[in-house]
Amino acid sequence: DGGITQSPKYLFRKEGQNVTLSCEQNLNHDAMYWYRQDPGQGLRLIYYSQIVNDFQKGDIAEGYSVSREKKESFPLTVTSAQKNPTAFYLCASSIGGGALVTDTQYFGPGTRLTVL
């Protein structure tokens, strides 16, 4: 899991409530990512950020929001607009910084969100 921490490991919320998942890294990486993992569907990209104060939508951004105010932090908010929020959420980071080749992405341990 390297220097990426996600908290909490398990999270339960009632339907209709917003919830924020934490992701912190001490690797001095510029780029950070959020993925959603569902059984049999692999990992799907929600949002990514290549530098502080900038982020882009991934393939399944609807119902999610992010912020990148600090280099080491990239929190993900799952809003009430997300129709099926129960899933395993993974945060990742890579060196980024405009490198000319794709860098290795390192993953955190994940947060399992269950919406009741």
Partner 1 sequence: GENVEQHPSTLSVQEGDSAVIKCTYSDSASNYFPWYKQELGKGPQLIIDIRSNVGEKKDQRIAVTLNKTAKHFSLHITETQPEDSAVYFCAASNDFGNEKLTFGTGTRLTIIP
Nearest approach, Cβ of residue 51 and partner 1 (Å): 11
- Cβ atoms of 76 and 88 within 8 Å: the answer is no
The dihedral built from the CA positions of residue 9, 37, 67 and 24, taken in this order, carries a sign that is positive
Nearest approach, Cβ of residue 62 and partner 1 (Å): 16
Distance from C-alpha of 55 to C-alpha of 51, rounded to nearest angstrom: 7
Which C-beta is closer to partner 1: that of 5 or that of 77? Answer: 5
Name the site residues for partner 1 (rule: CB under 8 A): 1, 4, 6, 31, 40-45, 48, 50, 56, 58-59, 90, 92, 94, 96, 99-110
